[in-house]
Structure 1
Amino acid sequence: MKAQMKNGQGGFTLIELMIVIAIIGILAAIALPAYQDYTVRARMSEPLAVAAEAKTTISEFVATNGALPGTAAEAGLNELTTVVTEAEPNTLVDTTTWNGGTGTFEITLKAVPQVPEALQGAGNGIRLVGTPTARGTVTWACGPTNVANAKYLPSSCRDAV
């Protein structure tokens, strides 16, 4: 008597395919929100570049005059604001304000499609607070104007200001 071996077809069973699809779905559910946060954080580099330019302008003023500028015009920030407002329509920066009394420079964010509504409009933006030192330099603290949005800023700009 010869034993006959039955050749079955190779391949995946339905349950194996369903498990693979479920795993891919779980990975996508985790990766998509992380990617969306990443793209928003990448967009936040634009207002931070404006902030860096303002910090340089104000620091130069303090080094020359020994005190914070009283107005944006005195600091030379009006030119910066003009450049920002005349930029392309997809720019993230809406307005910039300087308060010489408190040493506060604020950037308000504009409504653009790539940024969540929680980051747009009044009360949402970046705040820099400059404190002049005795050596003629400025120490800067950087943070969000709305603490709930700190996760979208780099770690160097998450101070409570």
Structure 2
Amino acid sequence: MKKQLQKGFTLIELMIVIAIIGILAAIAIPAYQDYIARSQASEAVSLMSGGKTPLAEFFSDKGVWPSAAASVMGTLSGKYVATIEITGNTGGTSLPIELTATMKAQDVNKNIMGKTVIMTSTSGSSWTCKPGGANPIDPKYLPAACRG
């Protein structure tokens, strides 16, 4: 009588593989969600950075800060950013000047919905970004330069 050899995996081996995949997914999905939130929040910093030079030129030319960001900046919203506003010394001559970006309330990661990030200049030429406003974004979702 010939003995047949079985080929393939046993049920326990398949269950072990599925358990390993489940553990890896449980770790990877939250990390991926944080990565998505960080990439969406970086849009706010990028859009505000685009206003630094126009703001400095406006102040240099007029001697006062603009009363609204729309008077100097072309892009005030994005795919994930609802608005960018000047929130400090609008129409004034003193510093600091602040730009505030507010994230959208939908179609963004739940950890940054409606949150705000601020970019401040105390000299007119150097800028710093940080969480701020009434509903500040968690620093872990900001680019590394803004976490300090």
In the superposition, the TM-score normalised over structure 1's length comes to: 0.71
What SS does the aligned partner of 1:119 have? coil
Which position in structure 2 is the counterpart of 1:130? 121
Q: Say yes or no: does 1:98 pair with 2:91.
A: no
Which position in structure 2 is the counterpart of 1:78? 70
What amino acid does structure 2 have at the position aligned with 1:78?
A: A
What amino acid does structure 1 have at the position aligned with 2:81?
A: L
What SS does the aligned partner of 1:142 have? strand
Which position in structure 2 is the counterpart of 1:29? 26
Identity %: 37
What SS does the aligned partner of 1:126 have? strand
Q: CA deviation at 1:81?
A: 6.5
What amino acid does structure 2 have at the position aligned with 1:141?
A: T
For the pair shown, the structure with the greater C-alpha radius of gyration is 1
Correspondence list, 1:1-161, <5 A:
6-61=3-58, 64=60, 69-73=64-68, 77-79=69-71, 83-84=75-76, 90-100=79-89, 101-116=95-110, 118-121=111-114, 124-132=115-123, 138-145=125-132, 149-159=138-148
Check whether the contact 1:41–1:154 (CA below 8 A) recurs between aligned residues. Answer: yes
Q: CA deviation at 1:20?
A: 0.2
Q: CA deviation at 1:103?
A: 2.0
Q: CA deviation at 1:95?
A: 4.4
Show structure 1 runs of 5+ residues with no match: none
Cα pair distance change 1:54/1:83, threshold 3 Å:
closer
What SS does the aligned partner of 1:157 have? helix
Please give the alpha-carbon distance, in whole angstroms, between the structure 2 residues aligned to 1:72 and 1:78.
Answer: 9
What SS does the aligned partner of 2:33 have? helix
CA RMSD of aligned residues (A): 2.9
Normalized per residue, which structure has more helix? 1
Aligned length: 141
Please give the alpha-carbon distance, in whole angstroms, between the structure 1 residues aligned to 2:137 and 2:19.
Answer: 33
Q: CA deviation at 1:92?
A: 2.1
Provide, for residues 32-71 of structure 1, a one-character-per-residue CA deviation record: whole Å limited to 9, x for no partner: 1111122222222322222111222223345x36x7x444
Please give the alpha-carbon distance, in whole angstroms, between the structure 1 residues aligned to 2:136 and 2:84.
Answer: 19
